[in-house]
Amino acid sequence: MRTEGTKIAIVTGAGSGIGRAVARELLGAGWSVALAGRRAEKLTETADGAREALCVPTDVSRPEEVAALFSAVRERFGRLDLLFNNAGTFGPGGVPVEELDYAAWRHVVDTNLNGAFLCAQAAYRQMKEQDPHGGRIINNGSVSAHAPRPHSVAYTATKHALTGLTKSLSLDGRPYGIAVGQIDIGNAATDMTERMSHGVAQANGQLMAEPVMDVADVARTVRHMAELPLEANVQFATVLATTMPYVGRG
């Protein structure tokens, strides 16, 4: 069970990158954090021995595994204050839309959109029923929720859809004290963005190296959003490398 007054969070995609950075930021700030991700060994690395970390191997695209995740959190901590809906995949890069395999499309949709929905639905149910009710959901949208990169149809479509999910959940959560927001991230330095330094396709067809920012700055932003009182909500936040070619992209 949690210590009285300790806030409880679930971070999906916690085995690496942004999820790992956010989980460690929250643990360092005194939160209890359930770490969800497909690879148990990566979750253990993220936890790094923290007593208030609970590692729950989870494939968010599988409803039964999402149910098991939230059940484990209820059993260990008794309530839930925050879901950081972060798990995601870019899918095969550089594939033209006419060549994109349907199985690859489905994998991206199942992870980025269906997984986010399943976790948000489970969080919503728990936050609505717990006493005192309420809590916060933060969705990781990406700047691709606004502007696409070339040959990124599956990723971009799911990230645009997450914006609609965020808005609908935010509206429906009002009567129950459930605040829902979205963070749109551009070029945080992780394994997923390592290719940026080698050059990525631009809208004009050229390849160009792009700047990145410290992922810790993303983690601090998520923590700020998470620690607001439920009477206040950051509906949408955009955090990006200052000089990345985003404004006017495409």
Domain boundary assignment for the chain: 8-240
* Catalytic status, residue 246: no
Computed from CA positions of residues 105, 106, 111, 115, in that sequence, does the dihedral angle turn out positive or negative? Answer: positive
Rounded Cα distance, 138 and 116, in Å: 10
Catalytic residue among 102, 124, 155, 246: 155
Instruction: For 14-63, write each residue's pLDDT tens digit.
Output: 999 999 999 999 999 999 999 999 999 999 999 999 999 999 999 999 99
Residue 196 CB neighbour total at 10 angstroms? 17
Instruction: For 59-103, write each residue's pLDDT tens digit.
Output: 999 999 999 999 999 999 999 999 999 999 988 878 999 999 999
pLDDT at 2: 52
| Residue the block writes with tokens 């809906």 | 85
33: which strand partners? 9, 53
pLDDT at 10: 99
Rounded Cα distance, 173 and 137, in Å: 10
| Start-to-end C-alpha separation, the chain | 50
Rounded Cα distance, 42 and 47, in Å: 9
CATH of the domain spanning 8-240, picked from 3.30.750.24, 2.60.120.260, 3.40.50.720, 3.40.640.10: 3.40.50.720
Could you give phi then psi for residue 135, rounded to 5 degrees? Answer: 165, -170
Burial class (CB in 10 A: 0-12, 13-18, 19+), 122: buried
* Cα distances (Å, whole numbers) of residue 95 to 140, 142, 186: 23, 20, 21
